[in-house]
Chain A
Amino acid sequence: MYEIKTEEFSGPLDKLLELIESKKLDITTISLAQVTDDFIKYIETLKNNISENQDDSDIFKNSRQLADFLVIASGLILIKSKSLLPQLELTLEEEESVFELEKRIQIYAQIKPLFALMKKHWLSTNQTYSRGLLLSMPTVFYPPKNIDGFLLNKSLEGLIKTLGSYFYEQEKIQRQLFSLEEKISEISKKIINGISRFSQMIDQKSKGESIVLFLALLHLLRDRVLDVNQIGTFEEMEITKL
């Protein structure tokens, strides 16, 4: 019978909602900023759980879930950074993503009761059965007209290709994942080496990696390891070690 697996953690929106509700806050941008630290802390505990886990397969699965958390975290970071650095001007796209996140949490809060409802329904209803395709039909040989080995070969080739790109996609998602700590130490090193501009740091990095880098930056900021100066709107962020 059905059982909730305890090691299965809830999704990022669910966690975020839980954090907001535990502080008895309404779903607003301000509340999101207030729970950002807790959310990042939660990601770190997740990450630690994953690395303690000996089973490779679970690491694969969990690290994918971690990636989902990081995407949401990037939106939160934006909100938080705005509250930490009021002079920070957000681009239109960023403004939208802040608004989006708030909206998504609201949607999630609205839809959440459905999951419990469905679970109850799924477990309590009665299975019905259809007869099965041509149940009492004897086998008769009806070959299709236009078919040969090459057609079969072509069809299989297409299928294998599709499957291949599915796996490629799965791998890509996994590759986008980088350890927070690794990035933190990378930032520290680069600062020490005199590379202080954020844009230099994210030079030639994928979007996913930039998010993690920015996240790490904010993390250091919070811990007062770094200081960030932005001279003006759309200007470079200057990073210095405290």
Chain B
Amino acid sequence: MTDAVSEKLHLRMLEAMLFASDKPLQEADISARLPETANLRHLLVQLSELYEGRGVALKKLADGWAFRTAEDLAFLLQAEAEEQRRLSRAALETLAIIAYHQPATRAEIEQIRGVSTSKGTLDVLLETGWIRLRGRRRTPGRPVTYGTTPDFLEHFNLEAIGDLPGLDELKGAGLLDSALPPGSPMPMPNDDPDLGDEEDPLEDDLFAPDVVLEDDE
């Protein structure tokens, strides 16, 4: 075998070994499996050059040599999976209350639903992108107010939040079958991005627990 031919074989052997190994290979381990005449240092340089600018690179890692995906192509190894999920009944009701009664605090939602709202429910709704934290109510404890987003209008095909049907229309559509007690308040939802008189902006530090006392300079 000429030197060129045997060098080519050694390079192929090195390549195959590194490819098939389930962990990075130390130079000593590679040498042990290559013919004695092989010049490992030289082969590693050659193999590195062969893969230069390619989709895969030969890397010297802390524990040896291994092939790795080129860094700029890492995004290829991230699959974006979309999964369709249905909202739970609790989430749907909470969303509806926020839509109709916004700006609404968690306590108000709970008061209307008559049950406590799990943190998970609001988290799921925030994840949908349909609701958002608006600000803080100017009442003791300064609770966060929730409202709907433009995405909400888009998803539910509404031109404006005022297009949500009122109680009478709900009744007309057969969604409300028994009469509500007279005087049941029908809220006027407000998703105006500008905060109302009763709302303060959220602090920069979103979850700062300290109650900020208003100064009346």
Asked if chains A and B come from one complex, the reply is: no
Give the interface of B toward A (CB within 8 A).
none
